[in-house]
Amino acid sequence: MEKDELCTAAAEKYYQPIYRYCLLQLGGNLSAADDCVQETFLRMLEKKDSLDFSGNIRSWLYSTAYRVIKEYRQQVRRESEMCPDDLDVELVSAEPESSGAEDAARLLSALSDEEYRLLEAYYDSSHGSKAAVAREYGLTMPQLYKRVQTLRLRLLRRQSDESDAKNPAPDCTNEQNSE
């Protein structure tokens, strides 16, 4: 038999068992199971010339599916550690009496030059991908997101402190009790 025919026969015979295995390992996630099964059989096609179909192709498929699932879980874990851009918050509140550019400049002056350049590179759309920023600063993607999130939180805290200083809390002491 030709290698393509052997791949087709293996896919016909083992597709459903591999799919059930992936589905079970991924907690019933149909989409993830579909992706992992497709990746498993794609790898079989890519390696068809070096595979020994006279041996136990079934065990090769299961071990490949295991590795694909493991890679999928690692990818999901990495993505969950990242701070998505859609969670970014506005650093300068839109108060009618404040001038946004001056407030932003004052807030950003609290950062070191390196921190400012990192944020600028991160948010500058013409800079390229965030992966390039991470490489430039010698960080992994999770480290980059964590660093940016930490800087944003520091700026938000400073903004909140400045807002509290401008608008002090009213004195709530009861005049009758102070006598």
**pLDDT tens per residue, range 21-53:** 999 999 888 999 999 999 999 999 999 988 888
pLDDT band at 91 (very low <50, low <70, confident <90, very high): very low
Per-residue pLDDT, 18: 95
CB 86 within 8 A of CB 58: no
Q: Pull the structure tokens for residue 62.
A: 């299961």
User: Whose structure tokens read 């992992």?
Assistant: 36
Residue 171's pLDDT is 56
Name residues whose C-beta falls within 8 Å of residue 170's C-beta, 6 or more positions apart in sequence: none
pLDDT score, position 101: 67
Name the pTM for this structure.
0.47
What is the tens place of the pLDDT at every residue in 112-161? 888 888 888 877 755 457 778 888 888 887 788 788 888 888 887 877 77
How high is the mean pLDDT of the chain? Answer: 79
In the predicted structure, residue 66 carries a pLDDT above the cut 90 = yes
Domain 85-166 top-level CATH class? mainly alpha
Domain ranges of the chain: 3-81, 85-166
> CATH: 1.10.1740.10, 1.10.357.10, 3.40.50.300, 1.10.3720.10. Which one for 3-81?
1.10.1740.10
